């Protein structure tokens, strides 16, 4: 099955399937949390690590993507990503404890962290320029469909087959991805073998991990360890760059990057808050909680490939302001809806938020990367991808902490208060991003 030439579209689809499955499992697991908390006798702060550890693994692996692509063939990288993902799924399908389940999720995160950059590398290096936008849009839509399907998929599987089947039922899809990938991605000779800056890589992993654990444990000591690790990473990274931090000198890129991270925080925080609130407060079933998330996610998935066209016609400012405005209105409504018993009001607010994401999220990424010089685009993309995954893990950890504090408060509506505080937290970031966009417009940094 060692092909000699590229078959580009099958290669892209095969890699996109792996990325799709990574996001699908991540979002489908959220509706299983109430049952898993009962099964393993743990609280929200512990169970959220099934998502947080996965995203953290992605965030830690993404910085290695540029090194892997420079020093190994795409075929080898594809095999590595699929192998890690398959091993992780096999472990999770029979996991007897939360610790074993976490190991599987980390391996899946490593596979996804390799596959995501590989997907966009294949598009940028193998697709003709005039077709690149269309193919990129289709690939993005494929990945963005996973959050639309994930909660419903997880809810139905949980209700009728048990949570382990979330992993088992995806085996055929990953094996299909592997088969077509091996048929379509050729091997290539690699002339340069670099050494990885393992010291910088290890310190970055410690910094990201201890920061998230400090949030869960509310530990000042771990927070200080995290900050010191970031300082060490800065110095170790200067000797042999793992991430090119020169991109942060571009103020416009930095401000837009914060907007990208805010857009990443929204769905990850809400995918923890809403399914748990719906099941624990409104007493909906896992299937109903999954279906609840479907309309907004589908709307966002439809808007993602269309949003680039809006950017081309109107410039960046109008779609960015429209997207953020919709998100602010939706989140404001959500803070009210979470204190009531109306699932319909909550659904409308979620749809507004997801519409804002569909209009603004991908345009924020495009706007950020286009503000960099050509020779820094790849570095900017690597930094963006790394921080995106961490932002998602950070949002999940904070949302779960608010939820846990609400549960432990002993108040009648404690869980609702915890959920609302989590939404307030995200809303603050969205408002700051909105103000930043107005400042950039005033400076004529965006049009």
Two structure tokens written together for 236: 């170790």
Two structure tokens written together for 200: 């910088």
pLDDT at residue 128 in the model: 75
pLDDT at residue 345 in the model: 93
pTM > 0.75: yes
Average pLDDT, integer, range 417-423: 91
- Which of 233, 254, 253 has the alpha carbon at shortest distance from 242? 233
Summarize pLDDT for 268-322 with one digit per residue, the tens: 889 888 888 888 888 888 788 878 888 888 888 888 778 777 777 778 888 899 9
Two structure tokens written together for 122: 């294949």
Residue 137 confidence (pLDDT) above 70:
no
Average pLDDT, integer, range 114-132: 76
pLDDT at residue 335 in the model: 94
Residue 400's alpha-carbon distances to 49, 386, 408, 419, 420, in angstroms, are: 10, 22, 12, 9, 12
3-state per-residue secondary structure call for 298-312: HHHHHHHHHHHHHHH
pLDDT at residue 192 in the model: 66
* Rounded CA separation 415/83 (Å): 40
Average pLDDT, integer, range 224-243: 90
The separation between CA 352 and the C-alpha centre of its own chain, rounded to angstroms, equals 20
- Which of 171, 204, 159 has the alpha carbon at shortest distance from 59? 204
Maximum CA extent, the chain: 65
Average pLDDT, integer, range 322-338: 95
The separation between CA 377 and the C-alpha centre of its own chain, rounded to angstroms, equals 20
296 contact partners, CB below 8 Å, separation of at least 6: 347, 350, 351, 353, 354, 355
* Rounded CA separation 233/231 (Å): 5
Confidence band, pLDDT 50/70/90 cuts, at residue 258:
very high
**Cα distance from N-terminal residue to C-terminal residue, the chain:** 50
Summarize pLDDT for 21-44 with one digit per residue, the tens: 988 888 788 788 888 898 899 887
pLDDT averaged over the chain?
Answer: 85
370 contact partners, CB below 8 Å, separation of at least 6: none
- Helices (H), ranges, 185-282: 198-217, 220-239, 251-280
* Rounded CA separation 294/46 (Å): 26
pLDDT at residue 186 in the model: 83
Residue 133 confidence (pLDDT) above 60:
no
Two structure tokens written together for 429: 């970031």
| C-beta neighbour count of 97 within 10 angstroms | 10
Burial class from Cβ neighbours inside 10 Å (0-12, 13-18, 19+) for residue 79 reads middle
- DSSP 8-class letter at 445: S
Residue 321: half-sphere exposure toward Cβ, Cα within 13 Å: 13
Average pLDDT, integer, range 180-203: 82
pLDDT at residue 171 in the model: 93
pLDDT at residue 3 in the model: 55
Burial class from Cβ neighbours inside 10 Å (0-12, 13-18, 19+) for residue 295 reads middle
Two structure tokens written together for 177: 């991805």
């Amino acid at each position: 099955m060692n092909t000699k030439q590229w078959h580009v579209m099958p290669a892209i689809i095969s890699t996109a399937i792996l990325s799709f499955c990574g996001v699908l499992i991540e979002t489908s697991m959220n509706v299983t949390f109430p049952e898993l908390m009962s099964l393993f006798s743990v609280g929200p702060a512990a169970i959220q690590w099934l998502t947080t550890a996965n995203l953290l693994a992605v965030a830690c692996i993404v910085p290695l993507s540029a090194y892997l692509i420079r020093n190994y063939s795409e075929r080898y990288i594809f095999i590595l990503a699929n192998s890690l993902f398959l091993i992780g799924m096999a472990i999770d399908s029979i996991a007897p404890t939360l610790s074993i389940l976490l190991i599987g999720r980390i391996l899946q995160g490593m596979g996804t962290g390799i596959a995501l950059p590989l997907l966009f590398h294949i598009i940028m290096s193998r697709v003709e320029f005039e077709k690149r936008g269309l193919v990129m849009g289709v690939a993005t839509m494929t990945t963005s469909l996973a959050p639309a399907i994930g909660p419903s998929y997880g809810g139905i599987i949980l209700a009728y087959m048990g949570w382990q089947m979330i992993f088992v039922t995806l085996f055929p899809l990953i094996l299909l991805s592997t088969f077509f990938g091996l048929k379509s991605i050729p091997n290539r000779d690699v002339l340069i073998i670099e050494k990885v800056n393992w010291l910088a890589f290890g310190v970055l992993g410690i910094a990201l991990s201890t920061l998230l654990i400090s949030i869960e444990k509310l530990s000042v000591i771990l927070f200080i360890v995290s900050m010191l690790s970031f300082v060490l990473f800065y110095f170790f990274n200067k000797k042999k760059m793992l991430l090119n931090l020169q991109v942060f000198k571009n103020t416009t890129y930095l401000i837009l990057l914060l907007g990208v991270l805010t857009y990443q925080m929204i769905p990850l925080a809400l995918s923890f808050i809403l399914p748990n609130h719906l099941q624990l407060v409104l007493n909906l079933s896992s299937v109903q909680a999954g279906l609840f998330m479907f309309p907004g996610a589908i709307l966002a998935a439809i808007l993602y490939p269309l949003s680039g066209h809006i950017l081309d016609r109107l410039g960046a400012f109008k779609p960015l302001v429209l997207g953020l405005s919709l998100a602010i209105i939706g989140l404001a409504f959500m803070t009210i809806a979470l204190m009531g018993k109306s699932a319909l009001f909550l659904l409308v607010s979620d749809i507004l938020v997801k519409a804002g994401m569909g209009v603004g999220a991908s345009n924020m990424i495009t706007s950020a990367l286009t503000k960099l010089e050509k020779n820094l685009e790849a570095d900017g993309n690597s930094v963006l991808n790394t921080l995106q995954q961490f932002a998602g893990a950070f949002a999940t950890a904070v949302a779960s902490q608010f939820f846990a504090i609400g549960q432990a408060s002993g108040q009648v509506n404690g869980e609702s208060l915890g959920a609302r505080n989590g939404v307030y937290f995200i809303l603050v970031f969205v408002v700051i991003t909105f103000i930043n966009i107005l400042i950039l417009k005033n400076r004529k940094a965006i049009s």
